[in-house]
Amino acid sequence: MSKDMYATALKNTLTEIKKMCPDIKYSFIFTKDGSIITGDGEADPLMKKTVHSFQSLAEKAVAIGGLDALSVNGENGKLHISRVKDMYMVVTTSPRANTTYLLSITNVIVPTVLKLLENIVPTPLKFMPSQQLVVDTLTGFFTGDNVQVDGVHLKEWSQHLDGKDVSKVEIETIGGKKTQRGVKEINDPKRQGQGLILIPEKTCRALKAKKGELVKVKPIAS
């Protein structure tokens, strides 16, 4: 089974759940590393912002054992994030939605479908890894166009990509702006090991990314 077929199977599952729970507005599923597997296309901006925000909270919650679920009640609706195996399911609903009924359905149907998919796929599908890193700027006449990240990330990405070298990365801001740039290891010892991505100033301006902001960085195999 290909990744597209895997994503389609999960998308069909979300569609059927929505039929049973008409109060659902949007729903989608993403992995721990922030890769969105499937969801409602019209909710694309919402998906990206939700994943960014949840990953930031999850990183801070590591010290207290991690974050497996999150519920937010607002005047215009509700948002629920729940962990299903090594993925997360996000559901937004109207304010009047029956939360107990909704969660009872999703907590049964989605794990069941994933179990069936595991029986069909002999080994887990690998989704392209990504990493949330903090923006810092590169300045100077000889800066060039390449960005810099910690060598540990380059090594992990290479291992995930079956040993292929990672020569470029895709950078995506929380606002949805994207660009691809060549990548090298951080050569400044003072800025190593801090979860940074060093980006030339002109690239930051093009992305409208500011120092200290989080961006999603995805490797591109050479």
Structural domain of 91: 3-120
Asked if 182 and 165 touch (Cβ cutoff 8 Å), the reply is no
Residue 2 has pLDDT above 70, yes or no: no
Residue 149 has pLDDT above 90, yes or no: yes
139: domain CATH number is 2.40.40.20
Does the pTM of the predicted model rise above 0.75? no
5 token code pair: 């077929």
Q: Which of 120, 142, 172 is the last residue of a domain?
A: 120
Pairwise pLDDT comparison (16 vs 48), residue with the higher score:
16
Each as own residue / partner, the long-range contacts of residues 106-114 (CB below 8 Å, 24 or more positions apart, any chain) are 106/17, 106/82, 107/82, 109/13, 109/16, 109/17, 110/10, 110/13, 110/17, 110/29, 110/84, 111/84, 111/85, 113/9, 113/10, 113/13, 114/10, 114/84, 114/85, 114/87
- The most distant pair of C-alpha atoms in the chain lies apart, rounded to whole Å, by 60
* Number of domains within the chain: 2
Whether 154 and 196 map to the same domain: the answer is yes
Segment 90-107, tens digit of pLDDT: 999 999 888 888 888 888
Q: Which amino acid is at 128?
A: M
Whether 78 and 30 map to the same domain: the answer is yes
Q: Which of 57, 86, 120 is the last residue of a domain?
A: 120
Please give the pLDDT value at position 197. Answer: 95
Q: Which amino acid is at 120?
A: I
53 token code pair: 């925000």
Residue 127 has pLDDT above 80, yes or no: no
Whether 148 and 64 map to the same domain: the answer is no
Asked if 163 and 192 touch (Cβ cutoff 8 Å), the reply is no
Segment 105-125, tens digit of pLDDT: 888 888 888 888 777 765 555
Segment 159-217, tens digit of pLDDT: 877 788 888 999 988 888 899 999 999 989 999 999 999 999 999 999 999 999 989 89
Whether 13 and 115 map to the same domain: the answer is yes
Residue 70's pLDDT band (boundaries 50, 70, 90)? Answer: confident
Please give the pLDDT value at position 3. Answer: 65
Cβ-proximal residues to 63 (8 Å cutoff; 6+ apart), any chain = none
Please give the pLDDT value at position 110. Answer: 86
Please give the pLDDT value at position 74. Answer: 84
Share of the chain above pLDDT 90, in %: 23
